[in-house]
Every structure is written in structure tokens, then in C-alpha cells.
Structure 1
Amino acid sequence: MAGKYVEGEFNIHPMDQFKVEGLFNGGATPQGFADLFMITNQTLWIALTVLAIIGLMVLGSRGRANVPTRMQSVAELTYGFIYKMVEDVTGKDAVKYFPHIMTLFLFILFANLLALIPTSFSVTSHIAVTAVLALMVFVSVTVLGFVLNGVGFLSMFWPKDAPAALRPVLAIIELISYFVRPVSHSIRLGANLMAGHAVLKVFAGFAGALGLGAVFPIFAITAIYGLEVLVAVIQAYVFTILTCVYLKDALHPHH
């Protein structure tokens, strides 16, 4: 929504677009356990994200024509891109985990891109969503590391090549950095998306308030929107490649 000009001041509220509101109860905000199953704008756009993924990957590759359609080409290119990323970063023995990584990438990518539709809702701008994704990666990678390597998984925290006097200090630093991973993993994605959408809302407010004199805000919105499309793709890529790096640590803790 555009900002309004009230008593000499711009009445712009860029953070209002991130409010989680119920769809069928007058826009009330969920509060407590009683509203756990409330259908909200966030629920709607998560569902639309899933439907968009199904539309591309299932319907797009259903025909498997020798001369692929545009949708089939996009689906195949996306599949090949992520498959090669997993193989190059994590190794061939990690290909078995490709479906999990592919699902993460597609969900984040489509959630980011759908959030750029006017009047939509940005799912991945909420730390509650990105934290769940990051914790899923952290827990699954940690469990996998112990299952495959046993106590040997802890060797990744002990720098054998460092001087003996420094090893305990470096081990503590490595341990802290490991547990900070889900925090940085989630905040990086959520903060970048939130900042971009907030800036778009501010310039949209200026454009709505200035009326015919809104040439500069409109040009700024166009430029920022193009940048946000790039950010949406890059952040999905960064989240996914970091997942591959963490998975590599679980599969090869001694490297």
C-alpha cells in the first residue's frame, strides 16, 4: 500500500507488509496456542509456493518431449544446476541427498520470487520460517555426521595441524562457529529479503504521496525491483550451497 501525506509528513509504514494476519477472521494476528491452526496470509503463500514448485517440476516434466517445452527446459536446467552443485561441492557420495537439497532450493527460490508480486506476502522474510529451514539443515547434518562417523565426527573441531598449545582454543572457536551456523544461515536469508521489501515499500510510499512528481521514486522502484529479483535468486543459491558445504563436513569431517 502506498504511503499517505498527513499534516506535512509521509505516513509510510514499511514493516506493515510483514504482519501475519488471519484470512477468515478479519485480519486478526495469531496469538498463542489457540490460533495454532489459523489460516493466515503466510499459510496461503506457502501453499502457493508449493503449488508453483509442483507446476514447474511435475507438470513441466510430465511429457518429457524430445523437443522440450519452455517449462520442461526450465525444469531440466534447474535440476541439472542443483545436481552439479551437489556433486561439485559435496562429492559424488552426496548425490543420494540431492532430493532434500533440491527441495530446499526450490522452496526458497519460489517463495522469494512470489514475494515480488504486488500485494503478495514475503514468506522468507520471516525469521520463524528461515530459522526452521536452517535448523532442519543443522540437525539433519549433525545427526548424519554422527551416524556415518560416530565419535570421529568430533575430529572436525580438533585442528590437528595447528600448534599443540593453540588446539584447545581453536577447538572452542570451531565449536562456537558450528553452533552459530543456523543463526547466520537463517538471518542472512531473512534479513536480506526483509530489507529489500522494506526499501521497495518506502519508495512506493514516496511515489504515492508525490503524485505527478514521482518520477525519481518510480525509477528507483524499477531499479530496486530488478535488484530484488537478483537477490531472490542469489539468496536461494547461497542458502543451498551453504547446505552443501555443511553436508560435506558431515560426510568428510577429517578433510
Structure 2
Amino acid sequence: MAAEQAKVDPMHQFTIEPLVGANWEIAGYNIAFTNSAMWMLVTTIVLGLFVAGGLKRQLVPGRWQMAVETFTGFIDNMLEANIGKEGRKYVPYVFSLFMFILFANLLGLLPLGVVGIHPFTFTSHFTVTGVLAVISFAIVLVVGFWKHGFHFFSLFIPHGTPVPMIPIIFLIELVSFAVRPFSLALRLFVAMMAGHVLLKVLSSFVIDGTNAGVGFGLLVGLPSFVLMIGISALEILVAGIQAYVFALLTSLYINDAENLH
């Protein structure tokens, strides 16, 4: 019984393991090709194929082309609503960001374990979401200083702020601005990690309840299994929402750099 329970470790699914080149190093840093890197590559390939299928430009678009155009139009409308006409030039980046996170989240939910393949949700790692957030934040800084120069610092002094309050308000706004990439990365990381941990815990209830006998199987295992189905459906929704929130906040931050609101 204890041996069966020990088989389910909710945190093991987040372990990064080298697949190739476990001993490869550059300047003391290991550069092995890991399961995380493999699923990033898989996500990139799937995204590339998805976009390529929508580039046919048929007069009467098929379902694939319509799907790509729908997502592109969705991002275009979001950027126009939040930034204005200037937002159109950011469509390629925000579209790629949104779709990459969406596909990563959804691929990590596929029940491939039944055929011996274990999906890895790399967006459940803060290092990955942190890099995505830093890239978005870097774009904001580059656009802000490129377009406005040092006047970009006026973003941290709201219009109408009393002169004696300017130093304090400036520091508060600066800290709030600097925390943006951290909060952006943390939101996605926590949402994805929490959902996968919950599913793994429920799966342990199903396994332990089944191994304990028919009575425990019906009392614990069956309700847990039904709940797993419901949570899995919810996780699909969360996967889309988190990708949208990440893209939306990125567009709002870019808007600050473009328009200094």
C-alpha cells in the first residue's frame, strides 16, 4: 500500500531531465538538451505548421486558414483597442507570444502518458515564463526610450501630481513598473503549476482508492476520477485564459511606452 502511494509524486512532473548531452558544458554551465527544451522545440514546430497551413491565401478560405486568420484578427483587434493604429506593428510579436504560450499550455495537457510519452509543460517553470516576460519588458523599454528619450520617465509622474509629492510618487511608480515582468511571469507560472499539481494529486487518489479495494475505489477513486475530468476541462480554459492575459498585459505595457499614459 505504502509502496503504491510512493509512486505518485506531484512535483516529479516538473523535473527537468537531460535527454542528450548530460555532460555537455560551456564555461562551467551545463547545456544538455532537456525534456523542457524538447517540448519547446515541439511547440515551435507545431506552431510553425499551424501558421504555415494558414498562409495559402485561398479566395474561399478553408477551416485551417480561417483558424489562423481568426487568431491573427483577434490579436490585431486587441492591439488596436489598447494601443491604437500604432499597435499593428506589434502583431507578429504578440501573436507569436500568445500562440506559443497557448500551444505550450495545451500540449502539456495531452493525455499522452497512455502511450508512454510524458508531456512537459515548460510554462510551469518560472525561468521560462520569466524569460518571456523579460523579452516583453525589454521591448517596452526599447520602444519607450527610442520614441520618447528621457521623457519616458514622465510615465512615472502622473499628470497633476503636486510638486512636493513627485519624488515619492516617482519612486512608487518606478518600483511598480520594475515589478511588472516579475508579476507577469509569476501569474502564468503559478496558474499552470497549480493545475498540474492538483491533477496529479487527484490521480494519486484514484490509484490509491483503486488499490485499496472496491469499496475505497467507489468511495474515493471514482469521485476523484470524475473530478479529474472536470479539472482537466477547466485547465483547457485556463490554458487559453493565461495565454490571453499574458498577451493582453504585454499590449498594455507596450501602450505605456507608445503613448505614455
Same fold (TM over 0.5): yes
Give the alignment of 1:27-176 within 5 angstroms: 36-58=30-52, 60-118=53-111, 119-176=118-175
**Displacement, 1:178?**
0.5
- Alignment deviations for residues 63-96 of structure 1 (CA, whole Å, 9 cap, x no partner): 3223322222211111110111111111111211
Q: Secondary structure at the match of 2:11?
A: helix
Are 1:20 and 1:30, in contact at CA under 8 Å, matched by a contact in 2? no
Which is worse superposed, 80-89 or 29-38?
29-38
Distance 1:106 1:191 in 2: 19
CA distance in 1, matches of 2:227, 2:170: 47
TM-score (normalizing by structure 1): 0.90
Letter matched to residue 39 of structure 1: F
For the pair 1:191 / 2:190, whether they are aligned, the reply is yes
User: Per chain length, whose mean CA-contact separation is higher, i.e. which structure has more relative contact order (CA < 8 Å, sep 6+)?
Assistant: 1
Name the SS for the 2:50 alignment partner: helix
Secondary structure (helix, strand or coil) at the match of 2:56 reads coil
**Structure 2: tracts of 5 or more residues without a match:** 112-117
Name the SS for the 2:160 alignment partner. Answer: coil
Q: Tell me how large the CA RMSD over aligned residues is.
A: 2.0
Q: Residue 23 of structure 1 aligns to a residue in which SS?
A: strand
1:230 is matched with 237
Which letter does structure 2 place at the counterpart of 1:129? V
- Does the C-alpha gap of structure 1 residues 74 and 158 become closer, same or farther in structure 2, counting only changes over 3 Å? same
Identity rate, percent? 40
Amino acid at match of 2:9: H
Residue of structure 2 equivalent to 1:244: 251
Aligned length: 247
Amino acid at match of 1:242: L
Q: Distance in 1 between matches of 2:79 and 2:145?
A: 21
For residue 62 of structure 1, give the secondary structure of its aligned residue in structure 2.
coil
Taking the TM superposition and a 5 Å limit, the aligned residue runs for 1:176-215 are 176-211=175-210, 213=217, 214-215=221-222
3-state SS of the aligned residue for 1:14?
coil
Residue 13 of structure 2 corresponds to which residue in structure 1?
A: 17
Instruction: Give structure 1 regions of 4+ aligned residues with deviation exceeding 6 angstroms.
Output: 28-32
Cα distance in 1 between the residues matched to 2:246 and 2:257:
17
1:165 positional shift:
2.8
**What is the CA-CA distance between 1:29 and the residue it aligns to?**
9.9
Q: Give the SS at the match of 1:243.
A: helix
- Cα gap change, 1:117 to 1:34, in 2 (>3 Å): farther
Structure 1 counterpart of 2:2, from 6, 18, 33: 6
Q: Following the alignment from structure 1 to structure 2, what is the Cα–Cα distance between the partners of residues 236 and 7?
A: 38
- Give the drift of 1:30: 8.9
Give the gaps of 5 or more residues in structure 1.
none
Q: In 2, Cα distance between the equivalents of 1:197 and 1:147?
A: 41
Cα distance in 2 for partners of 1:103, 1:70 equals: 20
Q: CA deviation at 1:98?
A: 1.4
Asked whether the 8 Å contact 1:86–1:95 carries over to 2, the reply is yes
CA contact (8 A) 1:160 1:167 kept: no
Q: Give the Cα separation in 2 of the matches to 1:245 and 1:30.
A: 41
